[in-house]
Amino acid sequence: MYLILIIGAAVMVVPFLWMLSTSIMTIGEANAGRLLPRAVRMTCPYVNLPKYSKNTVIGFGVGPVREGEQELPTANYYVEVRLEEQSNQWLFRLVNRKGKPVPIVPAGRPDAPLTDGWQAINPAGGMVDTGRGLTFTFAPAGAYKEADRRSGAARIEYVNCCQYPTDVLEKELADEAEREYTGRPIPEDLSNCRTVGRKIAYFFKEFIGGNYHQAWKTAKFNEYMWNSIRITAITLVGILIVSTLAAYAFGRMNFPGKNLLFTVLLSTMMIPETVVLIPNFLTITGNNPFLPFINWYDNWPALTIPFMAGFFNIFLLRQFFAQIPNELWDAARIDGAGHLRFLIQVVLPLSKAPIMTVTIFAFIGSWNALMWPLIATKAGSDWWPISVGLQNFVSEAGPETHLWMAAATISMLPVLLLYFLAQKQFIEGIATTGLKG
């Protein structure tokens, strides 16, 4: 018995856990299909090769670090060359981005102390090892041009993708994956890889500084989140005002045409969204022949006001309001209270539970709405709620699983937080209305 329940619970929870775990992986780990990110991170140095003149330096590469020396920090480096007039000898030195010379192991003398001065280039060309994790290869001296004084921009970078091209995917797949997913070259020789970062520090760095930050920044999630909060808040207030008033009228007042009106409004619950979609689009764009002054397209009223027109909330509250004993109303009337006062001071405090249910339904509905916001806003709108933002992010970001998962986590976090805080109201509200409906 317990086994079935636990399996069920596992099935329910595993996708969430998988999402969380993938959202803190690197792209390599995510593509390799790991279930958990590495607790200890491997990094490899690699050299990124932006465009550079290949007249003097024909290649850069990753090299070993000489014992006792520091590896070059992650930055851009340039090889400067000049012709010494007297000896007709080509000289070089390594400089950083600011043009400051960087001390390296002298060419051809692996044991000598570091130097940042000019050194001679072998006229036949060949590889020079800096002894600090970077190598570069010179062309034969005949090909040098006077203009290429400062040649090449190489950068050493640490990528966290070591295990993905080699241990998991085969070479072709890795090449494809590389083109498709990162655009970065992947080091072929992984012997220089080493472990850096321990569990906790790595976790926080990646969690806050890594994928979440990237997803949040690239997709303007701060804007979407704020839009969703605003839209949901306006919708909620609107729904609560409109439906408590109407539910009170249906539940506690008598007026001619009550039953007819109730039936007519009730029948709107049957109408699927797809039927009213197009006319509502015409209405908010000012194409409704009777309401030509409405021009809400791509603005907040279009995203909030149509959601206030649900009869379900009225129906739900009415059932509860009608059960409030009449004696209360009689007592209130003797005290001189009108309907509005009775509603605000007596009925509302009594109906916290159903109002909470309506709030939850409205909140989820508004947060989750996709079809209508897609239609009621233009591409790249300033009013995109988080659902549309996520949809757009997913369709534009390419299949970068780790970022998708981070984005999905961001967008479901507020709802899940609320759910864990008010789980009792959520579950019981929905369960009881389910039975009555």
Partner 1 sequence: MQNVSSAPRGLFAGRKGRERKEALTAYLFLLPAIVLIFVFGLWPVIHAFYVSLHKWNIKPKGSECIPYWLASAGLGSPEALEQTDCLGLENYVNLLGLQDIQAVIGMIAGLALGAVAYSWWQRSRTEEGPDRKRQVAAGLAAGIGLLLLIWVMPDLLASGEWTYLVTAALLFLAWLIWKGAGHTDSTLRLLLRFLSMVALVSAALYFFFVDFQRMWELGNQDFFRSLIYTVFYSLGTVPVQLSVSLVLAYILFQGVRGQGAFRLLYFMPYIAPSVATAVVFRRIFTLRDTGLMNRLIGLFGIPPQKWLHEAKGVNLIILDLLNQALGTNWAWPDIPDPLNVILSGPSLALVSIIIYNWWVFIGYDTVIYLAGLGGIPHELYEAAEIDGAGRWSLFRNITIPLLSPTTFFLTIIATIGTFKAFNHIFMMKELAARGTVDTASLLIFQTFRADGQFGEATAMAFILFGIILILSQIQNRIGEKLVFYG
CB of 382 to partner 1, least distance (A): 20
Indicate which single residue of 274, 293, 325, 380 sits in contact with partner 1 (rule: CB under 8 A).
Answer: 274
Q: Tell me, by CB under 8 A, how many residues bind partner 1.
A: 93
The stretch near partner 1 (CB under 8 A) out of 1-9, 68-76, 107-115, 200-208 is 1-9
Region 288-317 residues binding partner 1, contact defined as CB under 8 A: 288, 291, 305-306, 308-309, 311, 314
Indicate which single residue of 374, 376, 398, 421 sits in contact with partner 1 (rule: CB under 8 A).
Answer: 374
Strands lying side by side in the sheet with 41-48: 119-120, 89-96, 76-84, 150-159, 41-48, 194-196
Euclidean distance between CA atoms 226 and 414, whole angstroms: 12
Neighbours of 289 (CB within 10 A): 7
CB of 421 to partner 1, least distance (A): 12
Is position 214 an interface residue for partner 1 (rule: CB under 8 A)?
A: no
Is position 216 an interface residue for partner 1 (rule: CB under 8 A)?
A: no
Residue 196: which H helix or E strand, with range? Answer: strand 194-196
The stretch near partner 1 (CB under 8 A) out of 46-54, 182-190, 344-352, 388-396 is 388-396
Indicate which single residue of 278, 328, 331, 421 sits in contact with partner 1 (rule: CB under 8 A).
Answer: 278
CB of 271 to partner 1, least distance (A): 6
In the complex with partner 1, the residue whose CB is nearer, 158 or 296, is 296
CB of 307 to partner 1, least distance (A): 9
Is position 426 an interface residue for partner 1 (rule: CB under 8 A)?
A: yes
Euclidean distance between CA atoms 154 and 14, whole angstroms: 43
251 close to 322: Cβ distance less than 8 angstroms: yes
Nearest Cα to 351, choosing from 424, 236, 247, 435? 247
CB of 191 to partner 1, least distance (A): 25
Indicate which single residue of 24, 25, 27, 31 sits in contact with partner 1 (rule: CB under 8 A).
Answer: 31
Nearest Cα to 192, choosing from 61, 43, 41, 40? 43
Print the binding letters for residues 225-244 with partner 1: x by CB under 8 A, - otherwise: ----------------xxx-
Indicate which single residue of 143, 275, 344, 421 sits in contact with partner 1 (rule: CB under 8 A).
Answer: 275
Three-state secondary structure of 358-425: HHHHHHHHHHHCCHHHHHHCCCCCCCCCHHHHHHHHHHHCCCCHHHHHHHHHHHHHHHHHHHHHCHHH
Print the binding letters for residues 401-420 with partner 1: x by CB under 8 A, - otherwise: x--xx-xxx-xx--xx--x-
Is position 381 an interface residue for partner 1 (rule: CB under 8 A)?
A: no
CA 197 vs. chain centroid, Å, equals 24
44 beta partners = 159
Is position 140 an interface residue for partner 1 (rule: CB under 8 A)?
A: no
In the complex with partner 1, the residue whose CB is nearer, 134 or 376, is 376
Region 311-370 residues binding partner 1, contact defined as CB under 8 A: 311, 314, 338-340, 364, 367-368, 370
Is position 161 an interface residue for partner 1 (rule: CB under 8 A)?
A: no
Euclidean distance between CA atoms 75 and 62, whole angstroms: 14
CB of 82 to partner 1, least distance (A): 51
In the complex with partner 1, the residue whose CB is nearer, 233 or 291, is 291
What φ, ψ does residue 81 adopt, rounded to 5°?
-125, 150
Is position 56 an interface residue for partner 1 (rule: CB under 8 A)?
A: no
Residue 48: which H helix or E strand, with range? Answer: strand 41-48
CB of 319 to partner 1, least distance (A): 15
Nearest Cα to 49, choosing from 228, 173, 187? 187
Euclidean distance between CA atoms 278 and 288, whole angstroms: 11
User: What are the counts of helices (DSSP H) followed by strands (DSSP E) for the chain?
Assistant: 19, 9
Is position 1 an interface residue for partner 1 (rule: CB under 8 A)?
A: yes
